[in-house]
Structure 1
Amino acid sequence: MLDRTTIENALSRLVAGFESLRLDGKFDEPNLDGTPGDYVSFDAWEWPQGVGLYGLVQLWLARGRDAALTQTLTGWYDRALARGLPPMNVNTTAPMLALSILWRETREDRFEKVLNDWARKVMEEAPRTPFGGIQHDVSDRLNKGELWDDTLFMVALFLASYGQAAGRRELVEEAVRQFLVHANFLADRETGLWFHGWTFEGRHNFARARWGRGNAWITACLLDLFDLADIAPDAAEFLRDLLRDQVAALIPQQMEDGAWRTLLDDPTSYPETSATAGFAYGLLKGARLGLLGDDARQAGRKALDYVMGQIGPDGVVGGVSYGTRMGHDLQFYRDIPIQPTGYGQSLAMLALVEALKEAE
């Protein structure tokens, strides 16, 4: 297992790498309102940055709320609020998760109104599918009748976190409802893995892709939900059983070098670092909490070694697949390009923060 000094050094490089990310013109994805989409650089308000901020806030907690990261986090949000926030959708909700944790710890008045207003919008304005699922609408596309794995990480964790911190039980209960609805349509009964998406417009799972990063969102979500909020015992036990079922299917799909592929059960697809980091985080955390066994711990350690090997001298994580829309065939996933992103940095941070706890 890695020693604390090695882990801390790698975490510091990851923070520097995250802050160095810049949009280079390679990806031009305009939003529905005509504004330019930015899914790479540090300061945009979108889902990659939101996931990145979640990694930073977890590192902030692990380091005892140190001053440098406090300034990084509060400065990021103050700049964003001064610019004005974008319209609410699934992906623009992602930065609210880290903000809810920052507010929980600091109770800064300027953040409370923002969180409260955004939670109201999610509850009252977010389009719903049958069964009350939150439709996966994003900044550059409306996805009528669609449920995606990603929604649980981008929206449900925020509702749970802010609901718990603000004493609003209805938000926590809505988060649990989203987990249950998504599990009903996305968990693959044949394997225990999860499909990327489901559509009520035809009632199918698209390409039936058992997509790596989508499954990593689920592994992380199913553990972090219990950190962020108090969950009713019956629902909690069901969700833990879902986690164990997924992990039992995940471990045999791990490659010899510790990675998982972008399509977990497709040997023709490439190894993908962000999914591997998400699994490392979830497996190590689940083992530490006694929810998973030693086989999960060993797989998590092996995955962590792989992730460490993907962190460049500049702190930028390599081997990360770019943002992935819903694929209608498996070749779509095999063709997603590799691109450094905030979520790649963040998922590696989460894995290393969990490794810190194990090292202690």
Structure 2
Amino acid sequence: MSRLETNLHQLVTGMTALRHEGQFDEPNLDGTKGDYISFDSWEWPQGVGLYALASLWRAGHLPRLKNELEGWYQRRIEAGLPAQNVNTTAPMLALSLLWRESGDPAHGALLAKWAEDVLEHAPRTEEGGIQHDVSDKKNRGELWDDTLFMVALFLASYGEGAGRRDLVDEAERQFLVHTRYLADPATGLWFHGWTFDGRHNFARARWARGNAWISAGVLDLLDLATIAPSVAAFLTGVLKAQVDALLPLQCQSGAWRTLLDDPSSYEELSATAGFGYALLKGARLGLGTPAWKAAGIKAVHAVMASIDDTGTLQNVSYGTRMGHDLDFYRTIPIQPTAYGQAMALLCLGEAMNHDDLR
């Protein structure tokens, strides 16, 4: 077994072994305890983790993961699902991929109702953007990078599988609206968020993980559904502009900093893994130059160097709210999380698709 394959197995074990242990207690609006670390919780970090597992299974790298996914969903659905918001929608993406193969009617009914509720009841900003409401806070009038990965990819995937063009259209619309307000035309990078209350981009933070949601999300949108050619061409151009800005900002280690253009901020590995995944995938699909693959390879090495003996990716910043100044981002604590494991799994899983990296 190659080092790459060994690291993939270790990362899966490390993710499923994560436990909350009382860190970062963040009560939800309904009074329940928020758990954004352990794998046995229906939230966004776990949703991204499930998507990584589903992606590995679908690619044929770890076929056994299908049974683990089915078991996870059975346990969590039987325990009862939380109220719908942006972040609790994230686990629906991997479930849609399972359902697209199995056709399980119970899963199909759950997915259909959840998608319909997003269309009919998700709070909206001006111009129809999905407001970034989460389990512990309503963010009135705000658009965040994260929403595209947590909600729009689910709508696209389930819409494609169900023959619901209206859902795919809504996913496209969300990418277009968010691009309008979050992509920085001066640099090609993305700001973390936008508020219609005062109409500004908060700290104008070019935050690494938010940018990674976009790099990975654009490519995965094009994979998960049939996207209108004009929208696909537009988003591909947005991605290329972003990568043009990213490549000169890669550190010597192969990583990127948590504030991409701030040399005083720390190197952050969940974003690095997301960028590595996107760069290698984009190169494989013929979208980028050889420089994309070269940078992606450096990112893979940075990720592998940051996996400890327990299979845990280190140097991952904890869940990051909207910052009103740049110091906020510089001081986010380091904490292993399911999304850190997931981004590393996506990155190394994509590396397995390149014969020269296996």
- Matching residue within 40, 43, 46 for 1:43: 40
Taking the TM superposition and a 5 Å limit, the aligned residue runs for 1:77-96 are: 77-96=73-92
Contact persistence 2:46–2:339 (CA under 8 A): yes
Structure 1 stretches lacking a partner, 5+ long: none
Runs of 4+ in 1 over 3 A off after TM superposition: none
Is residue 2:215 matched to residue 1:216?
no
Task: Find 2:142's aligned residue among 115, 131, 146.
Answer: 146
Give 2:201's match in structure 1, choosing from 205, 216, 230: 205
Q: Select which of 7, 11, 14 maps to 1:14.
A: 11
Residue deviations 1:67-98, cap 9 Å, x none? x3122100100001101100000000000000
Structure 1 counterpart of 2:239: 243
The residue that corresponds to 2:2 in the other structure is 5
**Is 1:73 the counterpart of 2:69 in the alignment?**
yes
1:113 Cα deviation from its structure 2 partner = 0.8
Identical positions, percent: 64
1:227 paired residue among 205, 223, 226: 223
Alignment-mate amino acid for residue 253 of structure 1: L
TM-score under structure 2 length normalisation: 0.98
- Take 1:294 and 1:226, find their aligned partners in 2: how far apart are those partners? 21
Which whole-Å CA distance do the structure 2 matches of 1:145 and 1:43 have between them?
Answer: 31
Query: Closer, same or farther in 2 for the Cα pair 1:65/1:336, shift >3 Å?
Result: closer
Aligned equivalents of 1:106, 1:262: Cα separation in 2: 39
Match of 1:318 among 314, 318, 325: 314
How many residues of Structure 1 are paired with residues of Structure 2 in the alignment?
356
Distance 2:86 2:229 in 1: 27
Q: What residue number does 1:185 align with?
A: 181
SS in 1 for 2:256: coil
- 1:8 Cα offset (Å): 1.3
Mapped contact 2:61–2:349 kept (Cα < 8 A): no
> Structure 1 residues 112 and 296 mapped into 2: Cα distance closer, same or farther (>3 Å)?
same
SS at match of 1:358: coil
Q: What's the secondary structure of 1:198's corresponding residue?
A: strand
What's the offset of the Cα at 1:222? Answer: 0.8
Alignment of 1:156-195 (within 5 A): 156-195=152-191
The residue number in structure 2 matching 1:331 is 327
User: What SS class does the counterpart of residue 86 from structure 1 fall into?
Assistant: coil
Secondary structure (helix, strand or coil) at the match of 2:253 reads: coil
What letter corresponds to residue 23 of structure 2 in structure 1? K
The SS at the match of 2:194 is strand
Distance 2:158 2:62 in 1: 19
Partners of 1:233 and 1:142 in 2: how far apart?
Answer: 35
CA deviations on 1:186-243 (whole Å, 9 max, x unpaired) are 0001100000000000000000000000000000011000100001111110000000
Cα deviation, residue 65, structure 1: 6.8
Query: For 1:103-131, what per-residue CA distance to the aligned partner results, in whole angstroms no more than 9, with x for missing partners?
Result: 11121222111101100110000000000
Paired residue for 1:107? 103
Name the aligned partner's letter for residue 169 of structure 1: R
5+ residue gaps, structure 2, are none
Instruction: Rate the CA distance shift 1:109–1:64 in 2: closer, same or farther, 3 A.
Output: farther
Deviation at 1:63, TM superposition (A): 2.2
Q: Which amino acid aligns with 2:144?
A: W
Letter in 2 for 1:212: A
Shift in Å, 1:244: 0.2
User: Residue by residue, what CA displacement relative to the aligned partner does 1:245-273 show, whole Å, maximum 9, x if unpaired?
Assistant: 00000000000110000000000100000
Aligned equivalent of 2:26, options 29, 45, 49: 29
Write the distance in 1 (CA, Å) between the matches of 2:59 and 2:236.
Answer: 24
Q: Which residue of 2 aligns with 1:276?
A: 272
**What is the alpha-carbon root mean square deviation over aligned residues?**
0.9
Q: Within 5 A, what are the aligned runs for 1:257-296?
A: 257-296=253-292
User: How far off is 1:162 after superposition?
Assistant: 0.3
1:142 to partner: Cα distance: 0.2
Tell me by how many angstroms 1:5 deviates: 2.1
Counterpart residue type for residue 283 of structure 1: L
